[in-house]
Amino acid sequence: MKEIIVASGNQGKIKEIKAMLEPLDIHVLSMKDVLGDDVDIEENGTTFEENAIIKAESIMKQVQRPVLADDSGLEVDYLNKEPGIYSARWMGHDTSYDIKNQAIIDKLAGVEGEKRSCRFVCAMALAMPDQETKVFKETFEGLVNDHIAGENGFGYDPIFYFPPLKKTSAEMTMEEKNQYSHRAKALRDLYRYLEENK
């Protein structure tokens, strides 16, 4: 495989994937590079895996080349695993993450210790012409922090506290994230699969 199209407009995500797949000599393109701006896929699955597969297969059918899509989000156990698959559009697409993060902190006011458990989930789907779609799913376990902290990362990173490092995901270095994060672990699974199936 010489090329993979990433079904995402998120530049941070594309950069991470490029860095991970570079050693395999795989050229990474964004969906925009191939199809332009007018790509709208209805993610109507009920799980991260289903949404990743919908995205990957939808683009793959249009371009007839290998496509990688990921669906990821934050599950807060105390909130019945919300925002979950709705992480990006929870409280509305145009609501800033500062507001979303503060809303989660407020909902957990007075909740202590392990009851603040949460996880980032990442499901990556690799769709290839005339082959079965492969899914790689990983998690990153932590606790909801009691305040917003850190400048690195995006989304819910500033409230995701990782006890082993005693810092939020937004306070972690890129090296630390590449060791522990849900997306990095799923990418390592993908990397192993691609290496074994060159």
- According to DSSP, residue 109 is labeled T
Phi-psi region of 36 (alpha: psi -120 to 50; beta: other; left: phi over 0): left
Residue 10 token pair: 């998120």
Residue 22 token pair: 């570079």
Handedness of CA 39, 42, 45, 46 (dihedral sign): positive
For residue 144, the one-letter residue type is V
Tokens 């699955």 correspond to: 45
Assess whether 37 carries a catalytic annotation.
no
What's the rounded Cα separation, in Å, for the pair 75 and 87? Answer: 8
Residue 196 token pair: 């074994």
Candidates 40, 70, 71, 146; catalytic one: 71
166 belongs to an annotated ligand binding site: no
55 belongs to an annotated ligand binding site: no
8 belongs to an annotated ligand binding site: yes
11 belongs to an annotated ligand binding site: yes
Tokens 């050693």 correspond to: 23
154 belongs to an annotated ligand binding site: yes
155 belongs to an annotated ligand binding site: yes
177 belongs to an annotated ligand binding site: yes
81 belongs to an annotated ligand binding site: no
Per the CB < 8 A criterion, the answer to whether 78 and 90 are in contact is: no
65 belongs to an annotated ligand binding site: no
What are the distances in angstroms from CA 10 to CA 111, 147, 198? 33, 26, 27
13 belongs to an annotated ligand binding site: yes
Binding residue numbers for substrate = 8-13, 72, 154-157, 177, 182-183
Binding residues, as ranges, are 8-13, 42, 71-72, 154-157, 177, 182-183
Positions marked active-site: 71
Residues of the binding site for Mg(2+): 42, 71
